[in-house]
Amino acid sequence: MNKAILINGQGRQYDLLDSALSPGFQIEGLGYADDTDFLVIGGRYYPLEENSEQKSLETTLLFMDAADSKYYEFVKFARHNPLTLLYGNQNGEFYIPCRLRSISKVDQLGIRRYPAPVQLTQMGRPYRIITAECKSGVGTEGKIYPYVYDYKYANEGANRISIRSDSYLNSACILTIYGSADAPIWRHYLNGELVETGAFSGTIPSGNRLVIDSRSMPQSIIEYDAAGMVVADRYQLCDFSTERFLHVGEGDNRYVLSHNGITDLAAKVEAYIEYEAI
């Protein structure tokens, strides 16, 4: 383990390794456990719906030197949900969505330091973030994202973006198309096969951007202006005969864009590659 940082809902960070003050610091609960229900027929087991078990991550912080106030500050920090654990190991850096389940405190008379066992409920699979983009002379890109991306791919060419995934899970992504763009169309090819398409019947003015988000719940297609303010929900202006929302599959993912304009499009894909175990 080379990194264990909690990020709270306000964007503030808390370095668990700094607070642990122990070379034996550990986080338990990482890994995978199956929680699938089975139907038994004739001595054979048939999975009804494959699910992974919701995990509980456990660690112990050591508070000392003004331990009461440090404990209090951590509790205030951790109650600003949602929490994200930025965890780094030899395989890279991963984000684990979670929330505080419990933190224990044993106060002993005359002792001003104490261990505090912490339990975090995992709220989703670990993921890493990959971003890639294609640029043009038209369009602007606002740096509004809070995380540092693990990888950055170079511009592949006009209206094309490529991302490679090493996870067998089907993961969400966010496609951003920068204006100006007239009736843009987007296509997703997985290992050379067309698997998803989408189309927007409107026009994105210069300075604005259309964000097609398969990660949000519910999924959304929203236009923003240059200041990051919502212009309008554009879901109803998209082609309902298509999938509309894009994902990332195992292998080579290529996103190809086109529109009625004479200029190349500026666009970006943020892939949230999920893993069952890290």
* CATH code (residue 60): 2.40.30.200
For CA atoms 264, 159, 267, 241, give the dihedral sign. positive
Does residue 261 share a domain with residue 132?
A: yes
Map tokens 């395989």 to a residue. Answer: 91
Question: b/e map of 253-278 (b: 16 or more CB within 10 Å)?
Answer: bbbbbbbebeebbbbbbbbbbbbeeb
- Single out the residue in 72, 100, 122 at which a domain terminates: 122
Residue 256's closest CA among 182, 167, 177, 201? 177
Do residue 254 and residue 180 come from a single domain?
yes
Residues 156 and 247 in one domain: yes
Q: Are strands 113-122 and 92-103 parallel, antiparallel or unpaired?
A: antiparallel
Cβ atoms of residues 182 and 203 within 8 Å: yes
Provide the CA 90 distance to its chain's centre, in angstroms: 20
Task: State the DSSP string of 202-242.
Answer: SEE-TT-EEEEESSSSS-EEEEE-TTS-EEEE-GGGB-TTS
* End position of a domain, from candidates 78, 96, 122: 122
Does a cis peptide bond (omega within 30 degrees of 0) precede residue 165? no
* Counted domains in the chain: 2
What DSSP line would sit under 116-148, residue for residue? EEEEEEE-S--EEEEEEEE--SS--------SP
Q: Are 178 and 209 in contact (CB under 8 A)?
A: yes
Whether residues 234 and 139 share a domain: the answer is yes
Residues 59 and 148 placed together within one structural domain of the fold: no
In this prediction, residue 157 carries a pLDDT of 54
Q: Alpha-carbon distance 224 to 140, whole Å? A: 12
Q: What is the pLDDT of residue 231?
A: 96
pTM: 0.81
Residues in the chain with pLDDT < 50? Answer: 137-156
In the listed set 122, 156, 191, which residue is the last one of a domain according to the structure? 122
User: CB of 122 within 8 A of CB of 97?
Assistant: yes
Taking the CA atoms of the chain, what radius of gyration do you get in angstroms? 22
Is the same domain home to 102 and 133?
Answer: no
Do 266 and 145 fall within a single domain?
yes
H runs (alpha helix) in the chain:
16-20, 67-78
Distance CA 196, CA 171 (A): 13
Domain housing 94 = 3-122
The DSSP secondary-structure symbol of 250 reads S
Q: Are residues 108 and 132 in the same domain?
A: no
Same structural domain, 95 and 178: no
How many angstroms separate the CA atoms of 202 and 19, rounded?
52
Give CA 34 to chain center in angstroms.
22
